[in-house]
Structure 1
Amino acid sequence: MSPDSPATRVIGVHLVLVEDGRVLLGRRRNTSFAEDQWHTPAGHLEEDESVLRAMAREAWEELGITIAEDDLVLLHALHHLDADDGRGRLQLFFRPLRYRGRVANREPEKCHELRWWPLGDGLPRDTVPYTAHALARIAEGSAVSAVGWPG
């Protein structure tokens, strides 16, 4: 990339669904990233799609719940330098004010199971590291962080 070119980033959207102090995580499977680790319901921004639309789409595709774009609140922005491929990724973590439907695992080919975990110190040790980082910052009330970048 030339010094005059704007940086391009991969943008991820993550759903932070919390009920009774517990956050919903799924155990990944048959994916190219973080096999058998716990992660928030998430996906990537597609061409010609807003981050709000992407989050609402992913909630429907993965969990079968409907979230209005106006009902999404940005909790945390994480600027993550991926050690595997060296790409900068902007990870956006959203909380829905409300949603319709019952949470279900609609992608069993990509997710072993869904489970509710205590938000904060109660996450499983095999949670995706940047996800655990972001959820800890959310529990602290922090709106933005960065991981993986040199000093």
Structure 2
Amino acid sequence: MQRFKLIPAVHLFFVQEGQVLLLRRANTGYEDGNYSVVAGHLDGYESVIQAAIREAREEAGVEIDPADVQMVGVMHRLSNDERVDFFVEIVRWTGEIWNREPNKCDDLRWFAWDALPDNLIPYVRRALDNYRQGRWFDSVGFEQVE
């Protein structure tokens, strides 16, 4: 019998001066036209911190010191598959943030916490709310299963 496997991902909350960095997905086939945060799957044999550093470089063009990656939440999520999402706070980085993946992202900009866009992916909005409320763990999508 084959073991059950989860898909792990890391989501980066770049935070500065009362704002959070969001990107609008485009041409990916998943939630295109909606906002999210810099994020990506772990590649395997890669720590969450290593994945966060890699995604920051790949998507936003900045370098992050491992000591500046702060774990702020975990979400066990059920949608069309089952996932575990790790959320990290980034308040310090080296370089200028810019859209390194214009083929997957058509907008990358800062939003004030009280002016987040309506078309923010729902689980990302929930994770951002959890972060602001200091809630470290959440389970989403299992309501119909329990």
For normalisation by structure 1, the TM-score amounts to 0.90
Structure 1: unaligned runs, 5 residues or longer = none
Q: Is the 8 A contact 2:6 2:84 kept in 1?
A: yes
Structure 2: unaligned runs, 5 residues or longer = none
Cross-structure match for 1:10:
7
Cross-structure match for 1:96:
90
Q: How far has the Cα of 1:117 moved from its partner?
A: 1.3
Query: Deviation string for 1:28-47 (max 9, x for gaps)?
Result: 00102101100000000002
Cross-structure match for 2:31:
34
Amino acid at match of 1:127: L
Q: Is the 8 A contact 2:14 2:91 kept in 1?
A: no
Percent identity (aligned): 38
Paired residue total: 144
Following the alignment from structure 1 to structure 2, what is the Cα–Cα distance between the partners of residues 110 and 96? 22
Q: How far has the Cα of 1:8 moved from its partner?
A: 1.5
Cross-structure match for 2:109:
115
Q: How far has the Cα of 1:20 moved from its partner?
A: 1.1
Q: Is the 8 A contact 2:35 2:117 kept in 1?
A: yes
Q: How far has the Cα of 1:122 moved from its partner?
A: 2.5
Root-mean-square deviation over aligned CA pairs: 1.4
Query: Deviation string for 1:106-131 (max 9, x for gaps)?
Result: 10110001121122x42111101110
For normalisation by structure 2, the TM-score amounts to 0.93
Q: Is the 8 A contact 2:75 2:138 kept in 1?
A: yes
Following the alignment from structure 1 to structure 2, what is the Cα–Cα distance between the partners of residues 122 and 146? 25
Q: How far has the Cα of 1:81 moved from its partner?
A: 0.4
